[in-house]
Every structure is written in structure tokens, then in C-alpha cells.
Amino acid sequence: MILSGRPPRGRTLQALVIAVTLALALAPFLFPGVKPLNVAAKVCVYALLGASYDLLLGYAGMVSFAHVMFFGVGSYGVGLALYGLGPSWGAVALGLAAGLAVSTLLALAIGLFSLRVQAIFFTMVTLAVSYAFNVLASQLDWLTGGEDGRSFRVPEILQPGFRLIDREAFGVALGGRQVSYYLVLVGCVVVFLALLRIVNSPFGRVLEAIRENPFRAEALGYRIVFHRTLATCLAAAGATFAGALNALWLRYVGPDTALAGSIQIATLVVVVIGGMGTLYGAILGAALFVVAQNYLQTLLGAVSTAAGDAGLPLLPGLFHPDRWLLWLGLLFILAVYFAPAGLVGALSREDDTTP
């Protein structure tokens, strides 16, 4: 089955997941314009990035700070291949294959080196390796472009000037930008379904058992280091795919778009808000976080202006657009306090109590 025999639990949750998926599928027609399409593409990328991170955090119970590094490996792999070899699908395939190979080897090394001891050492090792990779990417100017990064050309069908058909479809001219978006969407959906298959397999059940009680799982004969290391490699592969798709969409790769610490924090926020150990939560968490990140500032500006026109004291300054990060943090705290299991947990519990 396409959903691995385990669809979202509860009618409300199913309706929300379907609504977000349909909105993303029809985004070029429902939300015409450059910014809305950028937001939709970012939701797709963060949904896949969050789902791959949830394989580690929610199912295996491991906290990793190297996930953004694997995301960056995918971005730099595709970006540097297109920059050096020119805009061809062969360069895309070569860059993706190289990124997957590097990510897998790094994840394997991290897992074998650190997972034989306590979990805190795994977290610290991932933090150190991620920081070292970030510094390395910034210093190798001859290869990565340093802090400036690399801009590159993509295959012709993905270029903004390309026209798929001469006529408009539902009032939208179908060109390279729309083709790029659907490439990102389809790629994210395919890898997400693969991750869903993994977590609903016997391997996923073993990961959950290790997360709940590693000593009992080991006593039953399961090789904890093997399963955790394999989970790290699979999660790294998912993040690498997300990074490659993000680079193709942006047509640029640099430390700010591929290796920034804010990407790791955003991924963690997406997983926590959506709900850990669900994968579907990554879809809802990504939609909520990315939309808030892009439109909360505009909303606060409208509220501040309205409060100023009404002559209300303090409110114009409190809702000033420059304070959008404060309100975003407050919304995150409230979400964690009132829904510690995330949106998926809250909605599933609500459906369970409905007569």
C-alpha cells in the first residue's frame, strides 16, 4: 500500500494531512506568485528533512546535531557538480550519488565511533563533526566558494525562462519554475513514502523497542549498535535528498542555505511541533513553521498599524514586525506546553475521546 498500511490516525488528522498535501500539489495554481511558490517549496523540503530527522529522534530516540551537515552534503554535491560540469541531468545524478556516498560514509563513521557508548557522546560527536564540516566548507574557497557559495545553472527544463506549453493552464503560465517545483514535490513525496515504509517495517518496530528500553531489546538479541547505525545512515540519506532538491530549487548553494545552524533548529522545531515518532507530524509541522516564518511578520505589521491607528498604547510596539521572532518563540512554547505530543498526538487523542 502507498501509505505502508498505516495511514494517519483519526479523521481530523487525516483531513489536515490531505488538505496540506492538496494545497502543496496545487500550489502553482492556488497561490500564484514568486513568494507563495517559494514558501510551498520550502514546506516540501522541510517536511522531508523533518521526517528524516524524526527517524532518528522519534523512532530511534537519538538526538543528532549533524542532520544539517547531511543536508549540506546533498546541497553541495548537486551544486558543485552542476557548477563544474555544466547544466545537465548527468551532473545532477553524479552530484546526488556523490552526496549520498559521502553522507552514508560519514553517518557510518559517526555511528560506529560513538554509538557503542552512552547516547550523550553520540550527540556531542555529531555536534563536533557538523561544526567542523561547516568550517571546512567556509574555508575551501577554491572548491565551495567559501562564504559566498556557488551559483550554478540547472538543466534547461528547470530554468525560469523555459516554457512547457505556450498556453496558460488555469491562468498560470507553465514554465521552468513550475517544473522545478513539481520536481521538488515529487522527490519529497517519493522519499517520504520510502521513510514511511521503513518505520512501518520490522526494522522500525525494533527501533521503537530500542528507544523504549535498549537493555531489554539487547537482552532479546537485537544488535543495538547495528540498528542505530543503520537508522543514522538512512536518516542521513533522507536529509541528503532534501538538500539536493533544495539546491536545485534555489540554483545556489552556500553556508547560509545549506549548513546554517538555524536549519538544524528549524528541523527540530518542525518535528516537535508536528509530533515525534509519527512522520506525518513533519508535514503539519513544516507547513505551520514555514508559513509562520514567512507571514507572521506581515501579520504583526498589520496588527501594529491597526493598533496605532486606533490610538491604543503599547500594542503598536508590542506587535512591531521586528519582534516576529519573539512571537514565533512564544507560539512554539505554547505549542509544546499544551500539546507535548505535537499536533499529531493532540489530534489523535481528540479523535479517540470523540464519542
Say if 301 falls within a structural domain.
yes
Q: Confidence class of residue 271 from pLDDT cuts 50, 70 and 90?
A: very high
Whether the CB-CB separation of 126 and 109 falls below 8 Å is answered with no
What digits encode the pLDDT tens for the residues 275-294? 888 889 999 999 999 998 88
Whether the CB-CB separation of 75 and 246 falls below 8 Å is answered with yes
Q: What is the pLDDT of residue 344?
A: 84
Residue 6 Rama label (left phi>0; alpha psi -120 to 50; beta): beta
**Stated pTM of the model:** 0.92
* pLDDT of residue 355 exceeding 60: no
Q: What is the pLDDT of residue 6?
A: 73
**What's the whole-number average pLDDT of the chain?**
87
Amino acid at 311: G
* pLDDT of residue 99 exceeding 90: yes
Which percentage of the chain shows pLDDT scores above 70?
Answer: 95
Say if 2 falls within a structural domain.
no
Say if 3 falls within a structural domain.
no
Say if 345 falls within a structural domain.
yes
| Residues in CB range of 250: below 8 A, 6 or more apart | 257
Say if 28 falls within a structural domain.
yes
Q: Confidence class of residue 68 from pLDDT cuts 50, 70 and 90?
A: very high
| Residue 260, domain CATH | 1.10.3470
* pLDDT of residue 169 exceeding 70: no
Say if 1 falls within a structural domain.
no
Q: Can you spell out the DSSP letters for 208-251?
A: HHHHH-HHHHHHTT--HHHHHHHHHHHHHHHHHHHHHHHHHHHT
Q: Confidence class of residue 119 from pLDDT cuts 50, 70 and 90?
A: low
Say if 80 falls within a structural domain.
yes
Amino acid at 250: L
What digits encode the pLDDT tens for the residues 217-227? 888 888 888 99
Tally of domains within the chain: 1
Whether the CB-CB separation of 242 and 188 falls below 8 Å is answered with yes
* Structural domain that includes position 83: 11-353
Say if 141 falls within a structural domain.
yes
Q: What is the pLDDT of residue 310?
A: 79
Q: What is the pLDDT of residue 349?
A: 64
Q: Confidence class of residue 39 from pLDDT cuts 50, 70 and 90?
A: very high
Q: Which residue has the higher pLDDT, 237 or 311?
A: 237
Q: Residue 287 is placed in which grid cell?
A: 507547513
* pLDDT of residue 30 exceeding 80: yes
* pLDDT of residue 59 exceeding 60: yes
CA–CA separation, 230 vs 209, rounded Å?
15
* pLDDT of residue 25 exceeding 60: yes
